């Protein structure tokens, strides 16, 4: 058996490694996406007071601290049995929308989008924000930096600190919004809406209008018919901050809609011997291996899956683009009025932009809400009300994020369980990598740079964040491709030089 | 005149991942010495790439302190890079967006004002996979050396620019 190793994976938060094993005929026998372990998180937390968790968990990751902060404060609301006042909920969601705008923007322009904008066969050194700037103009790069800057500023304004919010507390938020700040946020949100519309137009012009890229997006190369997961509001429209978790089957039939507090009734985790990370799956469907279909408990929790489970978007412009996306894939509505799911995984990039627009519109709605400047931002919890268990959930950019804390009566942590966005998608990522490899490596065909990149594209579309793990730096090691014979001897070594 | 010159010292890393916190630990310690200076801004960052470029924008000089894992030198070993070097510290790049070189080149292309001197100190780490808030002994001993190095360069800069 030949072995192909791709390491490091460029442009990923955290170090991963892909191993592709070929059979004697030179076809793909197996593909493994391995993630290194970080040790001791639960032990690190146990014995601390639960209210430290929003500050601790937002340091797990430099990329999505806001998501951990929100899931954590919501878990504390639950633990302390306290309901935040409406203004606090709105401030939290407002900050969260600013975070989504900057995160989705960065992913599209710097991480995932360059595969399309610069091209899947372009040299890896050009598939970055610089390549995007050269291809479509400096003004676009300027807008990306401007978008990041204004939203980081809003996040700092609302949360008291730039990178790691500290303002979330059980029962609310620790500072109110002034009317001057409100005016500034409204203006930033308006610019975000314009920028999101501009980005969707760019996607239409560059990707959808290009037959080659359009074919790539709509081809079977990255097609997986799995279950979809996402959070929906009371009207079953997508929501990032709060709601019920809905799961639909590959045909779009609802499997279940459950409150996040009952996640343990619906999600189980599979352990495989070749990796430290566990594979979550749908408990009531069951683990059938890394396979598609309604019999397999594998699900995705991504921008695309969030659109798949939703009856629609809660803002008008995002709704138009939601309809356009499903129409492009020929999806029709079922008898429940919901579109049949789209399973072409590269459409996740497009879905991310629909979400970008939703986040911008929702941010504007919240910023214009007169209640956002209310001084009533906190309900003080009664320490006697500690329940002993608290569960909080949000949609992180990379998937449904759940924090679960178990404490004693004083609120001292006894157990901590987190299911992070990326973990949900671990099984689908492994499947997509294998699918891409199967489609592109046949009969021992020589691997070209563009083909390697298409394997990377398979998991990059999930926007995986394996953070806190070892950081693979582009350039730290040369990009290596090893082909080994069944004894493990290297037959060929191809690679990207730093 | 050098009175309007502004410098920044940026520690990057995860403060909860044992030796990955060496950059953060360094700037926190520098706070004791430099905290009162108007011309020096100390910053903590968790990711590099575009974020690091943004953090340096507008300053005249920048120092960055980060952990590195080369596996070829003993823990605590210091290495000094300029962005033109092949920078092998852990967080100079953000694998979520781009590497430092690309981020800096993007900034130049866009006319964002970058420091004319950027120095990156890498400190070889022993343990970056374990949650913990304490540096291992070799790294604890390395922090004063990095501080001495940066303070030396800061004052050398001050002298030469007064000439």
Q: Test A60 with B99 for CB contact under 8 angstroms.
A: no
What pLDDT score was predicted for residue A16? Answer: 55
- Say whether B95 and A13 touch across the interface (CB within 8 A): yes
Antiparallel, parallel or unpaired: β A267-270 and A279-282:
antiparallel
Residues of chain A with Cβ-Cβ distance to B112 below 8 Å are 145
Please provide the DSSP assignment of A296-352 as one string. S--EE-SHHHHHHH-SB-SSHHHHHHHHHHHHHTT--B-TTS-BPPP-BTTHHHHHH
Which chain B positions have a beta carbon within 8 Å of A106's beta carbon?
Answer: 50, 96-97
Q: Which of B84, B69, B40 is nearest to A36 (CA)?
A: B69
Query: So where are chain A's domains?
Result: 2-34+442-455+465-496, 83-221+344-380, 224-343
CB A411 within 8 A of CB A79: yes
- Give phi and psi for A452, each to the nearest 5: -55, -45
Return the residue in A476, A478, A497 with the most chain B beta carbons within 10 A, the one to mutate for interface testing. A476
Identify the residue among A139, A156, A473, A479 best suited for mutation to test binding to B, counting B beta carbons within 10 A and taking the highest.
A473
Nearest chain A residue to B47 by CA: give it: A62
Q: Which residue of B has its CA nearest to A152?
A: B51
What's the pLDDT band for B92 if we cut at 50, 70, 90?
confident
- CA quadruple A66, A422, A39, B22: dihedral positive or negative? negative
Q: Which of B47, B99, B102 sits opposite A62 (nearest CB)?
A: B47
Q: Give the distance from residue B13's alpha carbon to the nearest chain A alpha carbon, in angstroms.
A: 9
- B129/A498 touch (CB, cutoff 8 Å), yes or no: no
CA-CA distances (angstroms) from residue A398 to A122, A198, B161?
Answer: 26, 23, 48
Query: Out of A14, A106, A129, whose CB is closest to B102?
Result: A129
Q: Which residues of chain B are within 8 Å of residue A110 when distances are taken between CB atoms? A: 49-50, 96-98
Residues composing chain B: 163
CA B45, distance to chain mean position in Å, is 9
In the CATH scheme, what is the code of domain B7-158?
Answer: 3.40.50.1450
Q: How confident is the model at residue B87 (pLDDT cuts 50, 70, 90)?
A: low
Chain A residue closest in CA terms to B125: A470
**Inter-chain Cβ pairs, chain A and chain B, closer than 8 A:** 127
What order of strands is seen across the sheet that includes strand A389-396? A389-396, A399-407, A413-419
Yes or no, beta carbons of A128 and B102 under 8 Å apart? yes
Is residue B114 within 8 angstroms of chain A, CB to CB?
no
Nearest to A243, CA basis, from A395, A371, A369: A395
**A393 near A231, Cβ under 8 Å?**
yes
pLDDT value of residue A115: 82
Residues B48/B91, Cβ–Cβ less than 8 Å: yes
- pLDDT by residue for chain A (498 residues), tens only, comes to 566 555 444 433 344 567 777 788 888 877 777 666 677 788 889 999 999 999 988 887 777 889 999 999 999 999 999 999 999 999 999 999 999 999 999 989 988 888 888 887 777 778 888 888 888 889 988 999 999 999 999 999 998 765 678 899 999 999 999 999 999 999 999 999 999 999 999 999 998 999 988 888 888 778 999 999 999 999 999 999 999 999 999 999 999 999 999 999 999 999 887 777 788 999 999 999 999 999 999 999 999 999 999 999 999 999 999 999 999 999 999 988 899 999 999 999 999 999 999 999 999 999 999 999 999 999 999 988 999 999 999 999 989 999 999 999 999 999 998 888 778 888 998 888 888 778 777 887 756 666 667 777 887 788 776 543 222 222 233 234 444 444 555 444 444 433
pLDDT at B4 over 60: yes
Q: How far is A101 from chain B (nearest CA, A)?
A: 15
pLDDT score for B98: 76
Give this complex's ipTM. 0.87
Ranges of each domain in chain B:
7-158
Task: Say if residue B13's pLDDT is above 50.
Answer: yes
The Cβ-side half-sphere exposure at A143, using a 13 Å CA radius, reads 21
Structural class in CATH, domain A83-221+344-380: mainly alpha
Q: pLDDT grade, residue B96 (50/70/90)?
A: low
pLDDT in tens, B22-31: 999 999 999 9
Q: What does the pLDDT look like over B27-74, one tens digit per residue?
A: 999 999 998 899 999 999 988 888 899 999 999 999 999 998 888 899
Interface contact B86, partner A, CB < 8 A: yes
Question: CA of A6 to nearest chain B CA: how many angstroms apart?
Answer: 16
Predicted pLDDT of residue A219: 80
Q: Do B98 and A40 touch (CB under 8 A)?
A: no
CB contact under 8 A, A40 and B130: yes
DSSP for A441-478, written as a single string: --TTPPPPHHHHHHHHHHHHTT--B-TTS----BTTB-
> Between chains, do B94 and A468 touch, taking CB under 8 Å as contact?
no
CB–CB contact B96 A465 (8 Å)? yes
Scanning every residue of chain B, which has its alpha carbon at the shortest distance from the alpha carbon of A110?
Answer: B97
Mutate to test the interface with A, among B55, B95, B102, B130 (most CBs of A within 10 A): B95
CB contact under 8 A, B95 and A472: yes
Chain-centre distance for alpha carbon A264 = 21
């Amino acid at each position: 058996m030949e072995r192909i190793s791709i390491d490091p994976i460029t442009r990923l938060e955290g170090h991963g490694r892909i191993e592709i094993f070929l059979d004697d005929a030179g076809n793909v026998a197996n593909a493994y996406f391995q993630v290194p372990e970080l040790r001791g998180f639960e032990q690190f937390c146990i014995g601390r007071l639960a209210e430290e968790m929003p500050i601790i968990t937002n340091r797990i990751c430099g990329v999505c601290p806001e998501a951990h902060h929100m899931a954590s404060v919501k878990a504390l609301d639950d633990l302390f049995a306290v309901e935040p006042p409406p203004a606090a909920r709105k401030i939290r969601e407002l900050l969260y929308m600013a975070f989504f705008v900057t995160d989705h923007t960065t992913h599209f322009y710097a991480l995932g989008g360059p595969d399309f904008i610069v091209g899947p066969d372009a040299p890896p050194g050009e598939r970055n924000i610089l390549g995007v700037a050269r291809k479509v103009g400096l003004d676009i790069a300027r807008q990306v930096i401007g978008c990041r800057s204004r939203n980081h500023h809003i996040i700092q304004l609302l949360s008291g600190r730039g990178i790691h919010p500290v303002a979330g507390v059980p029962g609310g938020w620790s500072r109110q919004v002034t009317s001057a700040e409100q005016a500034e946020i409204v203006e930033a949100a308006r610019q975000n809406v314009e920028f999101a519309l501009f980005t969707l137009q760019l996607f239409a012009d560059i990707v959808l209008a290009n037959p080659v890229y359009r074919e790539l997006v709509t081809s079977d190369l990255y097609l997986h018919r799995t279950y979809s997961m996402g959070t929906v509001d009371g009207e079953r429209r997508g929501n990032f901050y709060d709601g019920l978790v809905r799961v639909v089957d590959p045909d779009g039939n609802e499997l279940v809609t459950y409150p996040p507090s009952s996640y343990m009734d619906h999600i189980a985790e599979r352990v495989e011997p070749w990796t430290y990370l566990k594979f979550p799956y749908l408990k009531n469907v069951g683990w059938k291996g890394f396979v598609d279909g309604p019999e397999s408990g594998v699900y995705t929790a991504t921008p695309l899956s969030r659109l798949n489970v939703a009856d629609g978007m809660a803002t008008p412009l995002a709704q138009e683009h939601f309809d356009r996306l499903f129409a492009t894939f020929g999806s029709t509505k079922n008898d429940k009025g919901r579109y049949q799911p789209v399973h072409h995984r590269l459409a996740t990039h497009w879905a991310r932009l629909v979400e970008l627009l939703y986040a911008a519109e929702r941010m504007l709605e919240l910023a214009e809400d007169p209640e956002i400047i209310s001084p009533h931002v906190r309900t003080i919890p009664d320490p006697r009300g500690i329940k002993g268990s608290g569960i909080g959930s949000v949609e992180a950019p990379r998937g449904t994020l759940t924090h679960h804390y178990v404490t004693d009566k004083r609120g001292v942590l006894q157990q901590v369980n987190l299911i992070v966005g990326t973990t949900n998608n671990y099984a689908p990522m492994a499947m997509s990598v294998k699918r891409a490899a199967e489609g592109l490596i046949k009969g021992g065909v020589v691997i070209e740079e563009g083909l390697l990149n298409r394997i990377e594209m398979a998991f990059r579309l999930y926007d995986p964040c394996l953070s806190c793990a070892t950081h693979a730096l582009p350039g730290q090691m040369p990009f290596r491709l090893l082909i080994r014979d069944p004894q493990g001897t290297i037959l060929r070594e191809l690679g990207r030089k730093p | 005149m050098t009175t309007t010159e502004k410098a920044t010292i940026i520690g990057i890393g995860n403060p909860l991942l044992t030796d990955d916190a060496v950059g953060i630990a360094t700037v926190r310690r520098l706070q004791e010495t430099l905290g009162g200076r108007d011309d020096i801004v100390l910053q903590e960052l968790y990711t590099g790439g575009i974020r690091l470029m943004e953090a340096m924008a507008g300053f005249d000089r920048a120092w960055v302190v980060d952990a590195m894992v080369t596996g070829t030198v003993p823990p605590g070993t210091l290495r000094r890079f300029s962005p033109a070097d092949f920078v092998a510290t852990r967080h100079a790049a953000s694998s979520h967006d781009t590497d430092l070189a690309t981020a800096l080149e993007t900034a130049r292309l866009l006319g964002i004002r970058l420091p004319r001197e950027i120095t990156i100190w890498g400190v070889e780490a022993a343990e970056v996979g374990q949650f913990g808030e304490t540096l291992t002994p070799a790294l604890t001993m390395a922090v004063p050396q990095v501080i001495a190095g940066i303070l030396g360069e800061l004052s050398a800069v001050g002298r030469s620019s007064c000439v």
